[in-house]
């Protein structure tokens, strides 16, 4: 009996088994390892994500190569591409391809199975349309407005995201457009030093902008061809005048500067505590104010240069420039001012949102400059850039 009792005591007091604490620790370790394994598989940089990205890149590369092979056989004897031949060859040789009914480049094509869309330009260059789209930018202006975009046309670089609506992203020239790139022959403008411009003779009224009226935000005031301020605004708004700034693979059109309504909308999106208004108009153009009922010719520098936005280069690329300086005093908006029949709205380096006569400014000493606006194609998305000089590529 004693031997049996001793055996039982030794059996149930044996410390060689798994204790409850050890079991809990083992389970915790296994859970941690499982979590790490799941993260490695499904995380943002996990194996599954990398596999999907690699598959997408491979598919895009194959599709792009398919298109490129067909395009190479579409050059005419003068070594120029024929859009009709391109459309015919793509339609005959690539199954499941939707081809846009365009009569000039760029030509848009879409694969029905992958939904990938590509643009082909007149030189045979092909780009895929993907990335951050206009609606993303519109919904999060604080994350995108002011960011630098790697866009180039006619060797003009240095562009920032200025505004976006549901369909398009608009870029503005960072700093001022150099006079070597201003289309003086089309605009009747004259050069003053490096970036300043003026009219020595009143330009003729120009009409090629109405089709973009709603998109470029000119609905608050109807230009009147009898008023000099409207004549000047029409020159800046005429998209034909600024075609040298358009890379057709990425952009639809350009104008000589933001409209007042576009400038105000962009500003108000970033600075809701410093709202400005331009909802009132007079005979010759727009009024501005710090409330919706004010009808003022300008918002003074003492009001604007104490705002947070005054320190933002997107709206004030140069600050505190003297009127005696050759460049940097102000830039023109593509909207007439209610002040007089000669004035355009303008942004002054001292902060004022006001007006500028622009009439023979070489003599008077006031030297407004230009900051053109580019409208990107609606299919065009932004992609993070590996170039340290830019935030986004196209």
Report the number of distinct structural domains present in the chain.
2
Q: Is the pLDDT of residue 112 over 80?
A: yes
Inform me whether the pLDDT recorded for 230 exceeds 50.
Answer: yes
Task: Tell whether 113 and 146 lie within a shared domain.
Answer: no
Domain limit, last residue, from 109, 128, 147:
128
**With a threshold of 0.85, does the pTM exceed it?**
no
On average, the pLDDT of the chain sits at 87
Establish if 17 belongs to a structural domain.
Answer: no
Answer yes or no: is pLDDT of 322 > 60.
no
Two tokens, residue 253: 């059109």
- Is residue 153, in this structure, part of any structural domain at all? yes
* CB atoms inside a 10 Å sphere around CB 251: 22
**More confident site: 194 or 277:** 277
369, pLDDT greater than 90: yes
Confidence of residue 26 (pLDDT cuts 50, 70, 90): confident
Within this chain, do residues 187 and 54 fall inside the same structural domain, yes or no? no
If asked whether residues 160 and 257 sit together in one domain, one would say yes
Write down the pLDDT at residue 40.
Answer: 66
Domain boundary among 128, 151, 177: 128
Is 37 inside a domain boundary?
Answer: no
Q: Which of 16-30, 33-47, 216-230 has the lowest mean pLDDT?
A: 33-47
- Predicted local distance difference test score (pLDDT) of residue 136: 93
Q: Quick one: pLDDT band at residue 277, thresholds 50, 70, 90?
A: very high
Q: What percent of the chain has pLDDT over 90?
A: 59
- Per residue in 47-58, pLDDT (tens digit) is 666 676 678 788
Report the DSSP pairing between strands 97-99 and 126-128. Answer: unpaired
The reply to whether 387 falls in a domain is no
In this predicted model, what pLDDT tens digit does every residue of 331-366 receive, in sequence order?
Answer: 999 999 999 999 999 999 999 999 988 765 554 556
312 and 245 within one domain:
yes
Q: What are the helix (H) ranges across the chain?
A: 2-12, 20-42, 47-72, 83-93, 134-139, 141-144, 184-187, 228-237, 260-270, 301-304, 361-364
Whether 284 is covered by a domain: the verdict is: yes
Q: Who wins on pLDDT, 110 or 129?
A: 110
Residue 153 has pLDDT above 60, yes or no: yes
Domain annotation covers residue 71: yes
Enter the DSSP assignment of 220.
T
Least confident range from 96-110, 133-147, 278-292, 336-350: namely 96-110
Q: Let me know whether 139 and 269 are in one domain.
A: yes
> Which of 128, 156, 176 is a domain's end point?
128
- Residue of 235, 183, 187, 182 lying closest to 207 (CA atoms): 235
In a domain, 69, yes or no: yes
More confident residue, 128 or 137: 137
Q: Which domain holds residue 348?
A: 135-376
Instruction: Reply yes or no on whether the pLDDT at 265 is more than 70.
Output: yes
Long-range CB contacts for residues 320-323, cutoff 8 Å, separation at least 24? 320/349, 320/350, 321/349, 321/350, 323/365, 323/366
Residue 44 has pLDDT above 90, yes or no: no
Residue 80 has pLDDT above 60, yes or no: yes
Alpha-carbon distances of 201 from 177, 232, 284, 332, 352, rounded to whole Å: 21, 11, 19, 17, 26
Higher-scoring residue by pLDDT: 35, 63:
63
- Please, what is the end-to-end C-alpha distance for the chain in angstroms? 90
State whether 349 and 219 are in the same domain.
yes
Same domain, 329 and 211: yes
Statement to judge: residues 242 and 259 lie in one domain: yes
Instruction: Answer with the residue of higher pLDDT: 251 or 208.
Output: 251
Q: What is the pLDDT of residue 326?
A: 54
* For range 68-76, the mean pLDDT: 89
Question: How many CB atoms neighbour CB 48 within 10 A?
Answer: 11
E strand or H helix at 173: strand 169-173
Tell me what pLDDT residue 323 has.
Answer: 47
**pLDDT reported for residue 227:** 95
My answer on whether 140 and 264 are in the same domain is yes
Count of helices and strands (H, E) across the chain: 11, 17
Burial 201-236 (b: 16+ CB within 10 A, else e): eebebbeebeebeeebbbebbebbeebbbbbbbbbb
- Tokens matching residue 160: 């920032």
- The reply to whether 40 falls in a domain is no
User: Is residue 196's pLDDT more than 80?
Assistant: yes
* pLDDT for residue 94: 92
Task: Report the SS3 class of residue 99.
Answer: strand
pLDDT class of 12 with cuts at 50, 70, 90: very low
Does residue 171 sit in the same domain as residue 122? Answer: no
Quick one: 122 and 145 in the same domain? no
Does 123 share its domain with 167? no
């Amino acid at each position: 009996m004693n031997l049996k009792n001793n055996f039982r005591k030794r059996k149930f007091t044996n410390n060689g088994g798994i204790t409850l604490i050890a079991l809990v620790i083992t389970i915790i370790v296994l859970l941690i390892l499982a979590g790490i394994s799941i993260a490695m598989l499904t995380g943002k940089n996990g194996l599954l994500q990398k596999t999907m990205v690699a598959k997408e890149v491979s598919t895009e590369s194959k599709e792009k190569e398919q298109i490129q092979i067909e395009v190479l056989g579409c050059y005419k004897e003068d070594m120029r591409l024929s859009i009709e031949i391109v459309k015919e060859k793509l339609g005959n040789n690539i199954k499941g391809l939707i081809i846009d009914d365009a009569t000039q480049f760029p030509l848009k094509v879409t694969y029905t199975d992958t939904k990938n869309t590509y643009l082909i330009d007149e030189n045979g260059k092909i780009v895929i349309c993907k990335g951050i789209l206009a609606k993303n930018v519109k919904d999060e202006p604080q994350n995108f407005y002011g960011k630098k975009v790697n866009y180039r046309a006619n060797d003009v670089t240095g562009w920032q995201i200025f505004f976006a609506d549901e369909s398009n992203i608009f870029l503005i020239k960072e700093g001022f457009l150099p006079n070597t790139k201003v289309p003086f022959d089309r605009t009747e403008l004259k050069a003053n030093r490096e970036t300043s411009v003026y009219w020595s003779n009143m330009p003729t009224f120009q009409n090629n902008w109405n089709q973009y009226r709603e998109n470029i935000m000119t609905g608050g005031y109807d230009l009147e061809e009898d008023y000099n301020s409207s004549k000047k605004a029409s020159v800046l708004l005429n998209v034909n005048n600024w075609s040298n700034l358009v890379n057709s693979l990425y952009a639809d059109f350009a104008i000589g500067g933001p409209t007042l309504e576009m400038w105000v909308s962009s500003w108000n999106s970033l600075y809701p505590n410093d709202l400005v208004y331009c909802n009132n108009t007079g005979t010759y153009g727009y009024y501005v104010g710090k409330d919706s009922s004010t009808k003022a010719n300008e918002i003074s520098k003492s009001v604007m240069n104490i705002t947070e936005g005054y320190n933002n280069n997107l709206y004030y690329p140069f600050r505190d420039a003297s009127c005696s300086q050759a460049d940097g005093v102000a830039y023109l908006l593509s909207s007439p001012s209610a002040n007089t029949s000669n004035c355009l709205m303008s942004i002054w380096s001292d902060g004022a949102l006001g007006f500028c006569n622009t009439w023979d400014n070489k003599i008077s000493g006031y030297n407004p400059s230009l900051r053109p606006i580019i409208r990107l194609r609606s299919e065009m998305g932004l992609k993070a850039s590996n170039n340290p000089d830019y935030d986004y590529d196209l």
